[in-house]
Structures are given as structure tokens and as C-alpha cells.
Amino acid sequence: MTSQTGAVIPQETPWWRGAAIYQIYPRSFADSNGDGVGDLAGITAHLDHVAALGVDAIWISPFFTSPMKDFGYDVADYCDVDPIFGTLADFDALVSRAHDLGLKVIVDQVYAHTSDQHAWFAESRSDRTNPRADWYVWVDPRPDGTPPNNWQSVFGGPAWTWDARRCQYYMHTFLKEQPQLNVHLTAVQDALLDTARFWLDRGVDGFRLDALNHAMADPLLRDNPPAPDDGKPRTRPFDFQIKLHSQSQPGVVGFIEKIRRVCDDYGAVFTVAEVGGSDADAEMKAFTAGNARLSSAYGFDFLYAPALTSKLVVEAMAVWTDEPGIDGAAQGWPSWAFENHDAPRAVSRWAAAANRAQFAAMKILLLVALRGNVILYQGEELGLEQDDIPFELLQDPEAIANWPLTLSRDGVRTPMPWRADAPHGGFTMGTPWLPLGAANLAHAVDRQENDPASLLALTRDALALRKANPALRLGAFDLLHADAAVLAFARSTADQGLVCVFNLSPEAVSWPAGVANAGRTIASANGGEPGQLRACAAVLFEIET
């Protein structure tokens, strides 16, 4: 791969606009003490690897005090580190080292629910008159003792669990150990904002906001309507409903504006929301519109897609334009991820085993060429594949509950391979919490570190290219061609024009008619060049503007 330096990005541009962010799942990144679980000190020890990639920031999945029923997304104390991951001092050391390396630090915030072990819930469930009695969604049963409505939980079964202390049901969108906060309540919002201030005071540079559109439910508790059968597999009762009333309430936007005001008090702080569901595009736009809401949002466009197609990319890009939004500002800024801690490895979904290496190279160039922020999940730079975890070793509560119909999230959470010949890939000296497959061991960092033809080297070059070329980081997106095999688009600013062409198929194809076929190549994969597309080839080249 080759790269060329483009014009300098204006200094007034926020650091996060067009940024590349590296997601770290702390349980599986690096274990410093041999207990088989990754930790904060392990992350700090390997930040040189992350910085060498050329990303702008790291996003660390939850490391807060938790009983780990959902591996940290069930928070028992928002303002402390779970002992399995270390201490607050370890976190401070991580932030200091990251900043020394030029990396911003983004942490998860889980505002829709807590653990049932959180002190807030312990007080709330004690009786109906305590100061936090209405901090969670509590409801009396129907006259026949059944739950108040038909809402279903993501992990299977009703979204309601009976609690004998209050003789009421409490709501939980996910596990019963994750009771739903009543974020309609101002006191709850204020408490959550205080947790944000706690981490901002410790030097974090932004937040990834988990399941934010689940933060409020309909106070009238109306039944959700049934979802029409679209032919897709339904593996859970949750899939049979349109979540009209159980999530995505208008009040979320007002809470978002409060989050933004807190972040503004601390300067240039980045916020990105995770937004899922059937109306995700509209919600992401609402959450990021204007100058008083979130910096960015990402949905599930690519995360669960069974194939990478031109149509998929075109439809995702079409949602976000340069047209003015509210407050006279541009529309919100998107973020894109091909895989994460919840979604299967992209190369395993999108490519046959025989051509995964080629496909992974093309895929990395496509990711860095998209308009918006790009999020890489740990190991994506190595081409890691989805590990197959047998039932008896599963840790994922959703997969265990819905076996065998729900694909396990454990297969994307297996340990990071650092050294191919070390026990457990150099992840731990103990027994890892999840096993590491042989195929991924072969992709270890030390096997690729000094290989200029490796995916790791290509990823570093691609990220450097994105950082150096304003057209890639900030420019407009214009579709040039899309068919079953070939995707071509332009990225441009006033003084730079790029043509980006990708062969999504494992066969050589003809150059698309009407697309420029000459220019200065700045990046290529699998032998791609202007006018020629070998199997899984990609080429980015500069044209006159």
C-alpha cells in the first residue's frame, strides 16, 4: 500500500470529526496478573500497539464495579473500578499513558439501567416510600397478577420481574439483573450526570453512551404492537414486537441536551451514542442534530449484516448528508463500525475461508474511506475471525438462554493474540476466561509486526492515509457506481478529489463504465489499480478538482 499526504486539516476542526477510534474490550485485551481476565494495567502495557496504528482515541468498554452478569454492562457502582480490572489508580495511569501517546480516552456510560446490586436499586426496592422509590420503573400487577403489559426483554421472556419486597413488578429491557432506571425523573438524570462529571474530572475525553434509546419508556405502559413478519428469523419473543412504547421516547432528547451541557463545561468532549432498533436512522439524527446534542451516533447498519454489498453501503451513506439541519448547523455526524463486542467478526460473516485474507485488506480500505468516524474493534487490524465456542464453555447469557438459535457474542470476545508461540497467545499466564482459537493465534501481533505485507501494516498505512487527506477525513461523499460486485464513490473537498473503487467479490471484474480510470494512486489492496480490479481489489486515487 502507498500513501500520499494531502492538505492540512484546519486546526479549528474538532479532533473527533472524522476520527478513527479503537475499541478495547478490557476482559479480553491483556491480562497483567495471570487471573485469566484482562485488566486496566494490561491495556496500559499495550497502548504502544494502539498508538502505532495511528488512531485518534480509544474506547474502553465497561470496567466499573459489577457482578458481571452481563460482563460490566450491569453497573453496581458508576464511580469505581471493578477489582477484577484493577483500581482507580490503574485507570488514572492508563489515562496518563494514553495522553502521553496522543490518544484520547472514551469510556462507556450505561444510563438505561443498573445492576440489581447497585445501592440505588437496593434502596428503591426496600419499600414504596424511600427517597429512591421511583428511581426505577415499578408497576403494580394487573388484577390477575400478571405483568402490566406485553413488553419483552432482549434476552428472552417478559421485560418484567416480580419483587416481593414491594409487591410490584420492575422493568428490565435486558437481564432481570439489569433493572430499568426511570430516566424521566430529574433526580435520576442529575445523578447520572454526576457520574459523567466524575470521569471527566479524571481526564476522560468523551463517552460512548450505551443503549441510549432504551433510557425512557412510555409512562402509560401501553402494549407494543406486533411486528409484521418480514421473513427474517425470530429467535426471541422480543423480535415479535414493534418497540413503539418500551423504548425511544421523545424525552430522551432533552436528557441528551443536558449531557451535552455537562460535556461543554469540560471543553472539547466527544459523545457517541449506540442506537439500535427499526427506527435507528431517525433517532441517530435526532440525537445529533444541531449544536446542542451529541457529537455522533452509530447504528447496526454493518454490525449484523450477513454480507457486505454495495446496496448496504449506499443506503447507510445516503442517510447522512451535508444538508443544513436544525440551528442552521450541518446534520449530525455519523460513526461506523463493521464489528464490535456484540457483533460477529466481519470477515467471518462476509467472506469464505479461502479468501478472508484478501477480503480483510479490502474491507479495511473501505472502512477508512467512509464519510464519518470509523471505529475499529480490537483485533480487526489483525484480521481476527469469529471463534467457535462450544456450549459448555459459553459465558454469554443471551447465547446460553437462547441456545442454539442466538449466535454467541463470546466468539468475538476471545482474547487478543499478542505472541503466537506464547501460552494463550501471550494474553495471560493463567487460564483465559474464553479460549483462543488456533486460526486467530496464527494472526498474532508478533507474526505481523514486522511484515510489510501484513494486514497490520496495511491498517497502519490506511489510518495514516485517512489522517493525512482531508477528503477522506472530512470530505463529501458522492456515489459513482454500485452493482453486485463493484462499489465506487468520490470523496472530495474544495482542493482535493479522490476516487475510491472496491471489488466486493472474490473474482476479477471489469472496471465500471463511466468511472475515472486514471489518476495518482494513493492506496491499494490486492493489486487494485485505476482501470483494473482483481479479486477483492481496492484502489484509491487522486484526480484533478
Per-position DSSP letters for 102-130, written without gaps between them:
T-EEEEEEE-SB--TTSHHHHHHTT-SSS
Sign of the alpha-carbon torsion through 217, 218, 222, 224: negative
What Å distances lie between residue 182 and 190, 201, 217, CA to CA?
12, 26, 8
Q: What residues pair up with 487 in beta bridges, in sequence order? A: 482, 502
| R_g of the chain computed on alpha carbons | 23
How far is it between the farthest Cα atoms of the chain?
Answer: 74
What is d(CA 67, CA 312) in angstroms, rounded to the nearest whole number? 38
Q: Which of 82, 210, 339, 461 is catalytic?
A: 210
What is d(CA 237, CA 157) in angstroms, rounded to the nearest whole number? 7
- The number of CA neighbours under 13 Å toward the Cβ of 193 is 20
Q: What residues pair up with 106 in beta bridges, in sequence order? A: 59, 206
Residue 339 bears catalytic tag: no
What is d(CA 240, CA 485) in angstroms, rounded to the nearest whole number? 34
Residue 274 bears catalytic tag: yes
What is d(CA 441, CA 417) in angstroms, rounded to the nearest whole number? 6
Contact 107, 208 (CB under 8 A): yes
- Nearest one of 440, 374, 373, 447 to 413, comparing CA atoms: 440
Give the rounded distance of the alpha carbon of 230 from its chain centre: 26
Q: Which of 70, 90, 274, 301 is catalytic?
A: 274
Contact 16, 473 (CB under 8 A): no
- Cβ count within 10 A of residue 154: 19
Per-residue cell: 257:
441536551
- Cβ count within 10 A of residue 12: 5
What is d(CA 514, CA 508) in angstroms, rounded to the nearest whole number? 18
* 432: helix, strand or coil: coil
Per-position DSSP letters for 44-59, written without gaps between them:
HHTHHHHHHHT-SEEE
Mutual angle of helices 251-265 and 186-201, in 10-degree steps: 30
The three state secondary structure string of 295-352 is CEEECCCCCCCCCCCHHHHHHHHHCCCCCECHHHCECCEEEEECCCCCCCCHHHHHCC
Which residues does the annotation mark as catalytic?
210, 274
